[in-house]
Structures are given as C-alpha cells and as structure tokens.
Amino acid sequence: MKLLERNKTLIRVAKPEETKIITELQITAIETLYKDTYSLRQIQALTQNKNRTQFWDEIVFVAEKEGEVLGFASLLRYRKVINGIYIHPNFTCQEIETQLLTALEKEAIRSNISVLSVTSSLTDRAFYASQGYTTIAKCNFWKTGVLVPCVAMRKQLVASKKHFSLSGFLPQVTFATIANVLFLLLVV
C-alpha cells in the first residue's frame, strides 16, 4: 500500500519559492513539446524574457511526485482564463495535464466561474478539445515582434440558471476577454 502512495502524483497549490522551477519547466516544455508545431523563431519568442511574476488574481497548481515538480497550471480567476498548463517533457502522457486541468476547473467553480476560457497553443488544442473545450476563434500572440498562431477556446463548467428573458427572441451580445484581447460575440 505504501508503494502506491509513494508513486502517486500530488496536485497542490504552488509555493512562492518554486517560481524559478516553474519558469524553467515552462521553458523546457515549450522548447521540447512545441518544436513540431512552431518555428524556432516562434519558440524563441515564447521563451524569451521569462520572468515568472504571479498576477494578483492568479492561482498556480503544481503536480509533484516524490518531491519533484512535474508540471504546473495557472488560473486567472478575475479574468476567468487558464493562463497555461505545462508538463515537463519526461512526464507527458501520464494524465498529469488532465489532473491539473481538473484542479483548475474545480477552483474555477469554487470561484463562481461558469465559463472558463483559454488561449491554447496549436500544440495543446487537441488536449483542450478532448476535455470539452470548444474553439471560439483562431488568433495570434504578438510576442517580441513575432506572430505566434493560437486558438481561443472555452468551456461551460456549470449549467447557467435559466431566467425569464427575451433572449429567445433577440440575439445575445457577449463580450469576452481572452488573453487581453476583447472579442465581441453575437449569439443568435
């Protein structure tokens, strides 16, 4: 029984002193896992000047096994946005990404977020789609003079409460901010 406990991945809130480890893990993941999707110039733009500063509304979870950080995930609660999920390349395909996403979604629900958005890399688009996220739009990061293609996605976490309204008769206008980009969505 102890062997099972010892090999179990622990998902927990990151500690402030883990900032450097998290930053290095993110750079390693981007450089290794994105190389089949993005050009070297795009990868360099994504990894350049990585100084991990935590936003005031951000919560970061880490996946840890036997004292080693294997991956992390970040949620910007006020903006209702996943800021990223990164797994060390040596530990992909072990359900760690799914465990971290589940932790983010549970935190989002606890924070009364009913719809969660993410600006996904092209590399991670299939993962988010497999977890119920739908594509809103194709978009780009403009990072240090380099255009990096990505995909804006979202997921309904909890059913919205139905109230009487004219929404069935009139189109609904929704404003969404994803990664500091304002989208105007007309839902008919």
pLDDT at 6 over 80: no
Beta strands in 29-180 (DSSP E): 58-65, 68-76, 81-87, 115-121, 134-143, 146-156, 172-178
50 pLDDT above the threshold of 90: no
Domains annotated for the chain, with CATH where assigned, are 2-187 (3.40.630.30)
Element (H, E) at 130: helix 125-130
Q: Are 72 and 14 in contact (CB under 8 A)?
A: yes
- Residue predicted with more confidence, 178 or 101: 101
- Asked whether the whole model's pTM tops 0.75, one would answer yes
Write out pLDDT tens, residues 19-42. Answer: 999 999 999 999 999 999 999 999
Q: How far apart are CA 35 and CA 56, in angstroms?
A: 32
Q: What is the mean pLDDT of residues 172-178?
A: 47
